[in-house]
Amino acid sequence: MLCKQKSIPLFKAKLKAHPLLNKLIEKDVLKLSPSLCINKLPIQEAQTLLDLHPLLVSQIANDDTCFALVPCGLLERFKAHPLHTELNLKLLVYPKGAVELVSRSTLLCDPAFTYSLNANFNKNLQYRLKYFDEYGISRPKESLLTNLANTSSSTFR
């Protein structure tokens, strides 16, 4: 089943979690809080981050509401950006018949597949920060990164 790609202004996005998604993530433990530092990201970085995370949705309803097939807490953070009206959201629109396939892939297979990659992510980020400095490439402050990650300041040291 092929999906269609679509891009819409973030502020125009009407999102609603798909009823099946709500049931499947009912007992999820999430540690998402509003990222107050999102406004410190330049608009180009915010857009690049949004581009890295297209939202998977089922077919769009008559009133242009998209039914999200994955948890989209990330989007709420971007809506808090002072320039959110300039941001565009990429959508991957799947047909109604693909809801269970997409749910299986995104809620079970993807976390299992990427589990080992994320296990040492804080160490990888420590080294990456070091090399950005070594090569003279500008980078965000560690305080911004820890705020984005919703973690303590000692995580990346």
Statement to judge: residues 8 and 64 lie in one domain: yes
Burial 74-91 (b: 16+ CB within 10 A, else e): ebebbeebeebeebebeb
pLDDT bucket at 36, cuts 50 / 70 / 90: low
Q: Over the stretch 45-92, which tens digit does the pLDDT of each residue have?
A: 989 999 999 999 997 766 778 899 998 877 877 887 888 899 999 999
45 plus 107 within the same structural domain: yes
Count structural domains, the chain: 2
What average pLDDT score do residues 99-110 get? Answer: 93
List the structure tokens of 156. 């990346």
Tokens encoding 11 = 């502020």
Where in the sequence is the domain holding 135, given as residue range(s)? 120-151
8 and 56 belong to one structural domain: yes
Same-domain check for residues 85 and 129: no
> In this structure, is residue 156 part of a structural domain?
no
What average pLDDT is seen over the chain? 86
- 93: which strand partners? 4, 57
**What pLDDT, on the 0 to 100 scale, is given for residue 65?**
85
Name the nearest CA neighbour of 147 among 40, 60, 42, 10.
40
pTM equals 0.82
**Same domain? 17 vs 72:** yes
